[in-house]
Amino acid sequence: MKTRELALDALVKIEQQGAYSNLLLRQMLDKQALDSRDAALLTEIVYGTVQRQLTIDHVLNTLIERGISSFSPWLRACLRLSLYQMLFLDRVPDHAIVNTAVQIAKKRGHLGIAKLVNGVLRNAIRRKSEWLNGSIHKNAAERISHLYSYPLWLVAMWLAQYGESVTEQICAAQLRPAKTSVRVNQMKTNRDAMLKQMQDRSLHATASCLSNDGIVIERAGNLADSDWFRNGWCTIQDESSMMVAEALDASQSMKVLDCCAAPGGKTTHIAEKMKDKGAVVAVDVHPHKKNLIADQTKRLRLSSVETVTADATKLRDRFKDQTFDRILLDAPCSGFGVIRRKPDLKWRKTEADLQAIVKLQQTLLESVAPLLKSGGILVYSTCTLNRAENEQVIANFLRKHPHFLASPDFPSSFPEALRNNVDKTLGCIKILPHEYDSDGFFIARLRRI
């Protein structure tokens, strides 16, 4: 019952205090003495309940006359996590789920509430096949929204941009648990050697089919506690994210600017690609995040990275125009490509938020572009799937700046399937979540002429 109560507490904090699910879970796991199975179950219940909240609430609202919103936060959380386990997990019998929920209700409420919980959940069991088979909806947007638990406006936006088949694949893929992947530090070892070490320790590790530096591990546990991580042999990073430094294609003699660098994953990858030669200037606007980048460079023993606290829109006050051979702008975005890692994102963001995000992205791009040398490459990347934040930002920039051209010649280290699908007009690729079972990313290459 302890794991379910921790999950309940987490769900209440996410809903009532606006806590971020990934950060909150990390804090809870650090504080609680849970074995690996309970830690995995806690993570699965919290992420899964948040991911499926729209579907779960739709079911509960058909079972509760006054609706789920009429209940107290802890009671909502109790019913939601219980129904999530019933509908989407199969390891615990339904009667055990009901029994645990009733015990929690007695402990946190009273006998009357316990009877209510028992009645609602037992009614849900009787009608389970009805929920799992789905129901008839008026249109594709409503069907996908209810079936996969995404805000209707977000589904409608993706339908307009990608069509029904791809939208459904995006939604389904981002409900699956995120894989654990690491980036091998090629300055210290190579992927084959690290793969062998991991497999010798009975880890189910395989080479990434997306990144030549990547390894994917099933049931990895906490790799941040491993000797490989502590000694700088690898960095925990999603496979799609690894492709950003690949696209930059920086060499050892170059000076590189990483405009929005924290927490430093892409910064350190760039430095590794450059064999810790040349110079990488890592900028972030938040002073406390400078330490995150510094911690990564220290762990990896990189000396070529300089960390700077500054507003990226004002870097021309610090650096002369045409200072850098390469610029990376990993822009702030809506994050709709990483929903599987941050499930509460889809409930926090609104359509109105997107306009402000696009404006910031355009301002950042306009601000840092003059710092690129003639002949240099600027990479613009996001972890979102919204074309207004991606293709439209690049198209608008190229229209206004004829001395910048799309640079669609992505390095040969990119999978052939991606290179064959480059948008040559904009010099960009998209990695959709279902294509490699990785995060969704957008990467554009621009060259100053």
Task: Name the residues annotated as catalytic.
Answer: 383
Residue with tokens 């791009």: 365
The per-residue b/e assignment along 368-394, b for 16 or more CB within 10 angstroms, e otherwise, is: bbebbbeebbbbbbbbbbbbbbbbebb
Phi, psi (degrees; rounded to nearest 5) at 358: -60, -40
Q: How many CB atoms lie within 10 A of CB 9?
A: 15
CA gap 168, 192 in Å, rounded = 36
Q: In what order do the strands lie in the sheet with 214-218?
A: 204-207, 214-218, 180-184, 234-236
Containing 182, the helix (H) or strand (E) segment is: strand 180-184
Decide if 118 contacts 102 (C-beta within 8 A). Answer: yes
Torsion of CA 110, 113, 119, 121, to 10 degrees: -100
Burial of 70 (0-12, 13-18, 19+ CB in 10 A): exposed
Contacts of 223-228 with C-beta under 8 Å, sequence gap 24+, read 223/180, 223/182, 228/182, 228/194, 228/197, 228/198
Rg, the chain, Cα only: 24
CA gap 204, 217 in Å, rounded = 6
Decide if 316 contacts 291 (C-beta within 8 A). Answer: no
CA gap 305, 274 in Å, rounded = 11
| Pairing assessment for the beta strands 255-258 and 279-284 based on DSSP bridges | parallel
Q: Which residues contact 102 (CB under 8 A, 6 or more apart)?
A: 114, 117, 118
- For residue 342, which amino acid is it? K
CA gap 335, 439 in Å, rounded = 10
Among 34, 117, 43, 26, smallest CA distance to 74 is for: 117
Decide if 51 contacts 344 (C-beta within 8 A). Answer: no
Using DSSP's 3-state secondary structure scheme, residue 11 falls into helix
